[in-house]
Amino acid sequence: MSEYEHILVRTEGKVGVIELNRPKSLNALNRKMIEEIVGQLEMFEANRQIRVVVIQGNEKTFAAGADIQEMMGETPLSFEMADPFSVWDRFMSIKKPLIASVTGYALGGGFELALHCDLIIAAEDAKFGFPEVNLGVMPGAGGTQLLTRLIGKRKALEWIWLGEHMGAKEAKELGIINRITAPEIVFEETMRFAEKLAEQSPIALRLIKEAVNKAEDVPLREGLTIERKNFYLAFDSKDQKEGMRAFVEKRRPSFKGE
C-alpha cells in the first residue's frame, strides 16, 4: 500500500482498512488528511479484491474535529479559491460499503466523516456532536444536511445549535449509529460485521446502496423506478445465478462480483 503522512492503510482479506493517524492532535482532520482518506478510498474502490472499507480512529478517539489552526487565517475569498470541501463530495462516488468504527470522540469534521460512511459501529463511551457553533461558525462538510436527513429538522437544529456532545446510546436511539459495543472490542466487532458483508455479492451490495441512497433524495415513484432497474440489472450477473443455484442446492454461495 502507499505511504501516507496522516493515515495508516491495511487489508484484511476482502476488507480495506483506513486508520486515522494524527494521535498528537486527537486525529483532527486537516486538508491533507482528508485528501489521503478520499484518495485511498478511491484506490480501494478500484481494487476488485476489496469489497468493504472500514474507517477507524485509534483506541482513544475517532477524530476530535477539524484542524482549527489550519482554518484560523482563512477568508471567504481564500475558501472560495481553495474549495476545501469539494474533496468531501468524492465520498458520494464510492459504491462499496463504508463502515465507520468509532471510539472516543467523533466531533465536528470527525462526526461528518462518520456520517459520510454507510454504517457506524461505536464504542459505548463514544461521543458525537457538532461544536462549531461554540467557535462562531457551523458545520461545512455536510453535517447540517446529513444529520437532518437522519434525525429530522427539529432534533438536528437542537444538537447543532447547542453544540453539545451526544452519547452513543442516544445516537443509536436517534438512528445515527447502527451498533454499540464495549470499547475494547469495537474494532473486532466492526471487522466481524465487515467480513460478513464482504461475503455478500458485491454487485448486489452496490445496487442496494444506490437504491437506498436515492430513497432520501427522490419522490417515491422515481425511487421505485430505480429499485426495479437495479433489481433487473442484478439478473445479468453471475452472482445472481450462483446465489439462486446455491439456494436450491442448500449450500453457501460463493460470490465473485461478476
Q: Pick the catalytic residue: 36, 106, 132, 143?
A: 132
Q: Across 38-110, where does the E strand assignment appear?
A: 52-56, 98-102, 105-107
User: What does the longest C-alpha to C-alpha distance in the chain come to?
Assistant: 65
Has 109 been annotated as catalytic?
Answer: yes
HSE-up of residue 104 (Cα within 13 Å, Cβ side): 17
* Residue 199 annotated to the active site: no
Q: Is 194 a catalytic residue?
A: no
DSSP-based three-state secondary structure for 243: helix
Q: How far apart are CA 53 and CA 125, in angstroms?
A: 23
* Phi, psi (degrees; rounded to nearest 5) at 9: -130, 135
CA angle in degrees (0–180, nearest 5) for 147-126-41: 65
CA distance 208 to 16: 20
Active site residue 195: no
Cα–Cα distance, 71 to 6 (Å, whole number): 18
- Which residue in 65, 104, 109, 143 is the catalytic one? 109
All three cell numbers of 192: 466481524
Q: From the candidates 64, 66, 122, 126, which is the catalytic residue?
A: 66
Residues acting as catalytic residues:
66, 109, 112, 132
